[in-house]
Structure 1
Amino acid sequence: MIDQLPNIRHIAAVAATVAHGSVTRAARAVNLTQPALTQAIARLEKDLGCQLFDREPGGMRPTESALLLAPRAERAIAEIGSPRVTATQIRAFLSLSRAGSYASAAQRTGLSAASLHRAVNDLSLALGERLVERRGRHIALTPKGEARARRFGIAIAELRSGFAEVSLWLGKAGGKIVIGAMPLSRARWLPLSIARFAADRPNVDIAVIEGSHSELAGPLRDGEIDFLLGALREEEALDDLEQAASFEDRPQLVMRQGHPLSKARTIGVADLHRYPWILPSLHTPLRGYWRGMMGGEHADLPHVSIECGSVLTIRELIRESDALTLLSPDQLRVEIEAGLLIGRAPPVPVRRTIGITTRRDWRPTAPQREMIAILQDIAQQIS
């Protein structure tokens, strides 16, 4: 399995040879000599630990490994956008885009600031675009730079998927699935799904990145996350993302044991005005559902004394006060079952759709498809 971004020319050589079936035509297509193309393929075969082509008198016949890798390689090359771009330039540019300065990027990569500066300048020349600009002491990406960073991220994600598919075919470790998880998904849905998947696919690693939708949508678009789990958003705000509903969540009023409302036979909207509230930030879906429950945008809303998206923090604040919150009972299931907190139905039913968000052009590997299928199956059991 390859951990570093490989030589772009090597990847292009494999894709061209699969497409043309001839070293001569492939070399012409990627502007390499025939010996250089043959050497590039041999180096990539060594890195992957497998043969990509059967050398025959009539040409180069791709093996199954090459057929798995070639479509990913073609997509990656298209996203990179120029045959003159090198892996070193991409790594330097992405490090700079994340660090915000050459000095910080140098510390993260171990390269000198001068080397990074030279690589980013060479990348700008190769693409014919201004990618960065100075703003005070920091470096910021230009609009074209931001677009390039996103396309490079997608290219890297495609190559990682291609290498993972080859590795799985060879019976080796099958790469990694990176999941962006919003709070609700981490309570029961995702842990149950991971446990089942890990039992079926012990050779595939899983990484869970926690955060809110606003924190995770960018990495999803950049290819750093494979898919995102949580409350679905309005479709018109997600032109480049695709959503699939999984189950319906019904948030409840949550309060401490012994709260004045805990013994009430019924709870009305007027009762909810008498207590402080702890809720997530203003533009989250749950906050919108709360406004609807309380009478809508123009209603006289109770004061939200604390804005917080951390379930752990909310749990402790609720236990120590008469504050109320609106949360899925799954997120506080242990505390509710232990009698530390109480969940009550809200005066107006609240429902939100939970699901999976992916890039519209995402092409999952077989393990990624299996993980999605398991998530949808577990979601049906939960609902």
Structure 2
Amino acid sequence: MDNMAPNLRHLRAFCLVAAHQSISRASEEVFLSQPAITQAIAKIELALGVELFTRRTDGVFITDAGRLFLVRATRAQEFIQAGIVEARRIAQVKSGDGFENLGHLVTGVQLRALIAIANTGNFSLAAKRVGISQPSLYRAARDLERLSGMAFFRKSGQGIELTPAAEACARHAKLAFAELTQGYMEIAEYKGIDSGRIVIGTMPLARTYILPTAINRILDARPGVKISVIDGRYEDLLHGLRYSEIDILIGALRNPPPIDDVVEETMLEDELALIVRAGHPLTHKKKITIDELAAYPWITPREGSPTRIKFEELFSRRQCSAPESQIEASSLVLIRGLLLESDRITILSAHQTRHEREQGLLVQIPFDLGNTRRPIGLTTRQDWHPTKTQAEFVEALRSVGRSLA
């Protein structure tokens, strides 16, 4: 089974057979013949490598593996339907415009085409990504637009862009396909195969100790699991999380979250500190003034970040001009190199420089920054339903967080 373009009608048939414990009753609702439904379920079973139903004279009864996959197949269909509802609301589609039962008519290929166009902004590139001819992709995209009764595509200076309604539909389609991928991984776990994958979005605060320690713990327990770590700006990582390209986001929390479809969980609280190299002139002083801090060159976080705001407040609240020499950087490797080879100062999480301070390379200088405590933790999608492996990894993160707290 192609997890990026599943046969949605077959999935719906599977769910109906499970609900009714009858192929004949499912046939009446999905408009497929009984032999076609039997064949569809056989294809899904072959792809998953498990039996989904036990056939008896009094009906068909779902197996344990079938129950696992049923949860994912049901949730996938709910995501697709939710995307259609939201798209119709955004486009202000009136009742009677387009097909009311679009969720039963849309195909996996059409949704896959929609996602590819969203990602590439070009029909030719989208066709290559999907692996079909451009005319086939174009036809699938336009069929989806015709069935929905909504405008999905418009030309822009960069190529083809999705309308807001299409964006809503594409995001939910991604969530649906991600849900099915979760289902494939759970079936593999059920068969005793550690073939799961965890995609983690990480901000600087988690990279030093929390994340490496948790990754080592989960790989000790499940060596076959694939881990993918994505670094980036909070806004980019949040987008990846909401579009199911990332499973978990770890780092400084925004508190409250910037959007209501994600949830945050605090693991520990962290404080900022002023960090310099060992032997820096300020390390010999017992009391440091704000003017002395301003006289040195600085390495600052990027503009708009929470730590940058704290840096700016450090001087503005004391009515002191900010340092003239500033390098804006977020890479800890670069910051460490700059600090070790100069008299620069930076404002960082004390936790981020833990290893360097233990090795005697960097030093925290004594200066009261006031209340700089901020929550560090996890951000996940509100509707996220982790696999067993992913849940174990989340618990490993919590355990590491508790040890630091």
TM-score range, shorter chain: over 0.9
1:246 aligns with 2:267: yes
Q: How many residues align?
A: 383
In 2, are the aligned partners of 1:183 and 1:212 still within 8 Å (CA)?
Answer: no
In 2, are the aligned partners of 1:228 and 1:356 still within 8 Å (CA)?
Answer: yes
Amino acid at match of 2:338: L
SS in 2 for 1:266: coil
Amino acid at match of 1:207: S
Cα distance in 2 for residues equivalent to 1:128 and 1:77: 20
SS in 1 for 2:67: helix
Among the aligned pairs, what percent are the same residue? Answer: 40
In structure 2, what is the equivalent of residue 186 of structure 1?
Answer: 207
In structure 2, what is the equivalent of residue 327 of structure 1?
Answer: 348
SS in 1 for 2:368: coil
Of 364, 368, 383 in structure 1, the residue corresponding to residue 390 of structure 2 is 368
Deviation digits for residues 61-119 of structure 1 (CA, Å, limit 9, x no counterpart): 00011111112111111222312222222222212211121233244444333232222
Q: Alpha-carbon deviation of 1:319? A: 2.7
In 1, are the aligned partners of 2:315 and 2:322 still within 8 Å (CA)?
Answer: yes
Structure 1 residues 234, 219: CA separation in 2 closer, same or farther (over 3 Å shift)? same
The 5 A counterparts of 1:70-149 are 70-81=70-81, 82-149=103-170
Cα distance in 1 for residues equivalent to 2:58 and 2:158: 59
Q: Alpha-carbon deviation of 1:302? A: 3.7
Structure 1 residues 298, 84: CA separation in 2 closer, same or farther (over 3 Å shift)? farther
Cα distance in 1 for residues equivalent to 2:152 and 2:367: 51
In structure 2, what is the equivalent of residue 344 of structure 1?
Answer: 365
Cα distance in 1 for residues equivalent to 2:253 and 2:319: 24
In 1, are the aligned partners of 2:4 and 2:177 still within 8 Å (CA)?
Answer: no
SS in 2 for 1:134: strand
Cα distance in 2 for residues equivalent to 1:303 and 1:30: 70
Of 211, 234, 244 in structure 1, the residue corresponding to residue 232 of structure 2 is 211
Cα distance in 2 for residues equivalent to 1:303 and 1:354: 31
* Greater CA drift, 181-190 or 266-275: 266-275
In 2, are the aligned partners of 1:319 and 1:340 still within 8 Å (CA)?
Answer: yes
1:355 aligns with 2:377: yes
* Unpaired segments ≥5 residues, structure 1: none
Q: Alpha-carbon deviation of 1:232? A: 0.3
SS in 2 for 1:36: helix
1:264 aligns with 2:275: no
Structure 1 residues 8, 315: CA separation in 2 closer, same or farther (over 3 Å shift)? same
SS in 1 for 2:281: coil
In structure 1, what is the equivalent of residue 19 of structure 2?
Answer: 19
Cα distance in 1 for residues equivalent to 2:30 and 2:318: 59
In 1, are the aligned partners of 2:270 and 2:350 still within 8 Å (CA)?
Answer: no
Amino acid at match of 1:260: P
Q: Alpha-carbon deviation of 1:327? A: 1.2
In 1, are the aligned partners of 2:257 and 2:263 still within 8 Å (CA)?
Answer: no
In 1, are the aligned partners of 2:196 and 2:389 still within 8 Å (CA)?
Answer: no
Amino acid at match of 1:49: G
Deviation digits for residues 147-190 of structure 1 (CA, Å, limit 9, x no counterpart): 11110111012111122222211222342111111111111101
Cα distance in 2 for residues equivalent to 1:218 and 1:173: 28
Q: Alpha-carbon deviation of 1:54? A: 0.7
In 2, are the aligned partners of 1:269 and 1:347 still within 8 Å (CA)?
Answer: no
In structure 2, what is the equivalent of residue 154 of structure 1?
Answer: 175
Q: Alpha-carbon deviation of 1:4? A: 4.1
Query: What's the C-alpha RMSD, in Å, of the aligned pairs?
Result: 2.2
Cα distance in 2 for residues equivalent to 1:345 and 1:298: 20
